Structure 1
């Protein structure tokens, strides 16, 4: 009798779907999303996709990787063409090694940063490398945990920048990590702490488990559309909520899926919800946030 029931059930697609739906209800949202994100990680978290991300600059610009990465992340706002144009001019004028930085007049500016702000940035970076040897050592000297070090680092950089004439444009480069998502600074930390085909992992004093997820426009859209956060603003509250969501999937490496998940929006125009684009999307069979494959 037991075997007969099993046989009938297995031949009944509606009952099978109902059982699958009940199983999904018992799973957390993070558990349901993890197989899809793992698939994206295996497919897109590769060096061949770095050209779609600001990390392309420390990959392609020869010099001190930490210095080039930090400068690139600080100025990674605006459209891609503008960022690239500024950074090429920046590294051409000031160099890619902190040891060659010097105080000199500049006419270089970028959006909110006036020439005086760019000069303040250079002088502060020179002072930091002369005093600590590296940004990692500055972090280690300014706090215990990665988060504490980041908070104190921002305070330090704003204070020293002001001493060198930096104003609002300079301060814009150093978002307050206590009140905001500080996405560019956290992007830099991901590059430095994590090690895989995309991230450099050259910092050895910190652990991946202490990283936060980078809440850029694409990640905020994903999290909001899928009911993880209540609005799509880049607040500290949303940063913690999104990070906690991804920490459920991978407690030891909560930022693991950042690059791969954001590729959907950056490279393929994904809206992270049911959309007409889903019909032709290569990921639709596993995708948990569209209704096309259901």
Structure 2
């Protein structure tokens, strides 16, 4: 529970209505990059501006009203106007389908179960006709080849069975998901021999997921939260340290441990 509350998904668990959880999850996942402390602070600010009933607000407010709400919001390269464009798209989906989950399920059926194409349809709908670079970065296009970590992370939260972290809200098989790949997942996956690729691309995400699918075909990305937080907590540091690696639960399957490629620990260096 403590780890969840330090993760962006913790914001979603503050709400009880599915529609609110979907909107809060979309905002939290979209802003989940950069410094963790700064990201959490700015997610909090954005949600305060949206008020206690974010789905109702998004569903009933026009672009101008949302701009007034989010006026002055900044997170790295994003401004309030970029969040507004995404939320206007989300509001349209809510009005047309009732929930974002119903919308995504429709896209998934239309795509014959192709997760990448389903996610691309969702991204198209959220961006609308926006062509500016920041909005297209905020809601990235899976067809372009990047890992689309934040959009894929959002899908994991919504699709995977409710387990205290993920919420199991969307009627899509967890087996169709692809793992969200950030710097932590990429590094740890390389350490575990799940991929030899050096960039966080869609191809990398698919390769890692294919390896994890051999462990659990029905729910291959259930390992994501635990693996990612090994990196976030620095229990698996970016520069392997013998003392930390010696205590790691993954050492038996870790290529770094088996190769003995360590930097001196602080105690040894001193």
CA distance in 2, matches of 1:116, 1:215: 27
Matches within 5 A, 1:38-77: 47-60=1-14, 64-77=20-33
Paired residue for 1:254?
220
Q: 2:197 is matched with which residue: 206, 231, 240? A: 231
1:154 to 101, 123, 146: 123
> Is the 8 Å Cα contact of residues 177 and 220 (structure 2) preserved in structure 1?
yes
Shift of 1:115: 3.2
| TM-score, scaled relative to structure 2 | 0.79
Which of the residues 82, 85, 89 maps onto 1:117? 82
| Counterpart in the other structure of 1:132 | 97
1:240 corresponds to which of 194, 206, 209: 206
Report the CA distance shift for 1:279/1:206 in structure 2 as closer, same or farther (over 3 A).
closer
- Contact kept, 8 Å, 2:89 with 2:125, in 1: the verdict is no
> What is residue 270 of structure 1 aligned with on the other side?
236
Shift of 1:285: 6.8
Contact 1:222 1:271 in 2 (8 A): no
Note if 1:84 corresponds to 2:49: no
- Give the corresponding residue for 1:25: none
Q: Per-residue displacement from partner, 1:50-105 (whole Å, max 9, x unpaired)?
A: 13322111123666112111111011111122212222221111224211232323
Q: Which runs of 5+ in 1 are unaligned?
A: 1-46
Q: Which deviates further from its counterpart, 84-93 or 96-105? A: 96-105
Structure showing greater relative contact order (alpha-carbon pairs closer than 8 Å, 6 or more residues apart): 1
Give the direction of change, closer, same or farther, for the CA distance of 1:61–1:88 in structure 2 (3 Å limit).
Answer: farther
* Structure 2 Cα separation of the partners of residues 127 and 217 of structure 1: 33
- Separation (CA, whole Å) in 2 of partners of 1:109 and 1:272: 29
Any conservation in 2 of the 1:225–1:272 contact (CA below 8 Å)? no
Q: What is the deviation of 1:286?
A: 5.0
**In structure 2, what is the equivalent of residue 199 of structure 1?**
166
Q: Which has the larger radius of gyration?
A: 1
- Give the Å deviation of 1:109: 2.4
- Alignment length, in residue pairs? 241
Pairing partner for 2:55 from 95, 98, 111? 98
Give unpaired runs (5+ residues) of structure 2: 261-270
